[in-house]
A = this chain, B = another copy of it.
Amino acid sequence: VTHAPDVPPLAFEDVASAVRALRASGLRLSTPRRLVLEALFSTDGPVAAGDLARELAIDESSVYRNLELLEQRGLVRHVHLGHTPGLYALAGTRETEYLHCEGCGRVTAVAPERLDPVRERIREDFGYRARFTHFPIVGLCDRCAPSRGAPR
């Protein structure tokens, strides 16, 4: 995953402030929950629940339950890249959006502002407020386009 330089800052600066927010909403801080949070803070790209479970030696169901809970609280989001399992990441102050190259698999995370012109065009032409946070924009990057699909 390549993060563009202007990807929005995280909704919470560090584990401590996230934990404070959780506590404030009446949640307990169990070891698995803390480990999941810490892992998300120390990873750059989105991670699969299964990988988290393996790396942290936590049961998969607990990982899923925590991720879902954190997602409901707005601390976490998930994105689907190809046919792989859902990938989870910390939520930003604004929703990070994704581009996914189906050639090389590279994922680019971009700030929502950069997609506003695209979004505006879609809104004018189709009456849709588009969001590339849960499903990315899929296509071929400049490097892969020549070899694969139409060069143009």
Contact = CB atoms under 8 A, between A and B. Distances in A.
**SS class of chain A's interface: helix, strand, loop or mixed?**
mixed
Size band of the A side of the interface?
20 to 34
A47 B135 CA distance: 20
Contacts of A101: 128
Nearest to A117: B121
A132 B130 CA distance: 12
Nearest to A114: B125
Contacts of A141: 127-128
A9 interface: no
Contacts of A108: 126
A140 B128 contact: yes
Contact of A138 (B118, B126, B130, B152): B130
Contacts of A99: 122, 126, 128
A80 B121 CA distance: 23
Contacts of A138: 130-132, 134-135
A48 interface: no
